[in-house]
């Protein structure tokens, strides 16, 4: 059993190409956005399901996104505010 605390991090539970869940965690939203726009070493396919997204210890409303790409677009808008 393991327990983790993420404090003010961005935490996203998503799925890999085989449909297995995994966690993407980052201190900064821009790090995830840069990876998504770049080589996508940590990011899944744009149509990957997102099971949970949390930022600053607050869940992001799942009605604001439908998949990985739409969550990234939402986060991009959030950073630009």
Domains belonging to the chain, first-starting first, are 10-80 (3.30.1490)
Instruction: Indicate the pTM of the whole model.
Output: 0.91
Per-residue pLDDT tens over the stretch 3-55: 878 788 999 999 999 999 999 999 999 999 999 999 989 999 999 999 999 99
Cα separation, 29 vs 20, in Å, equals 23
Render 52-81 in DSSP notation, one character per residue.
EEEETTEEPPGGG-SSHHHHHHHHHHHHH-
pLDDT in tens, 10-24: 999 999 999 999 999
Q: Kindly report the number of other CB atoms within 10 A of residue 47's CB atom.
A: 10
C-alpha–C-alpha distance, residues 19 and 8, integer Å: 27
């Amino acid at each position: 059993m393991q327990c983790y605390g993420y404090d003010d991090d961005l935490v996203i539970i998503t799925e890999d190409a085989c449909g297995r869940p995994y966690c993407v965690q980052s201190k900064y939203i821009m790090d995830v956005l840069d990876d998504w726009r770049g080589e996508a070493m940590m990011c899944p396919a744009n149509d990957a399901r997102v099971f949970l997204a949390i930022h600053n210890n607050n869940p992001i409303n799942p009605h604001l996104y439908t998949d990985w790409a739409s969550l990234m677009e939402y986060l991009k808008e959030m950073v630009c505010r």
